[in-house]
Amino acid sequence: DIQLTQSPSSLSASVGDRVTITCRASQTVSDYLNWYQHTPGQAPKLLIYTASTVKLGVPSRFSGTGSGTRFTLTISSLQPEDVGTYFCHQSYSVPRTFGQGTRVEI
């Protein structure tokens, strides 16, 4: 199974700060890497797919980069509504696997 390791596991930042979350894969996933935001009581929301494509409707402050085994999710200017847990997911192989999540607080 491909293991995805996120860092940090949690962070606290101020409104307007630039936030970066890293996801490392135990073996290559090419660009089959997706990012989600999960808030309590709701289903996760897809933010970025194929490593760097921002889903239509997602604010432009979200961006993703990377390929192979190292990926990053960046929020260029943190907003109050961005609070939640962010996790990565690989759709390169089965079983599909997920990072353990990064909790973002203001």
* 95 cis-preceded (ω within 30 degrees of 0): yes
Out of 29, 34, 66, 104, name the contact with another protein by CB under 8 A. 34
Q: How far separated are the first and last CA of the chain, in Å rounded?
A: 34
Residue 1's identity, in one-letter code, is: D
Residue 41's identity, in one-letter code, is: G
| CB neighbour list of residue 48: distance below 8 Å, 6 or more residues apart | 34, 35, 54, 55, 58, 62, 63, 64, 73
Size of the site for another protein (CB under 8 A): 21
Task: Answer yes or no whether residue 57 interacts with another protein by CB under 8 A.
Answer: no
Contact map string, positions 67 to 86, toward another protein, x by CB under 8 A = --------------------
* Stretch 85-104 residues interacting with another protein (CB under 8 A): 87, 89, 91, 94-101
The residue (of 19 and 90) whose beta carbon lies closer to another protein is 90
Interface ranges with another protein (CB under 8 A): 32, 34, 36, 43-46, 49-50, 55, 87, 89, 91, 94-101
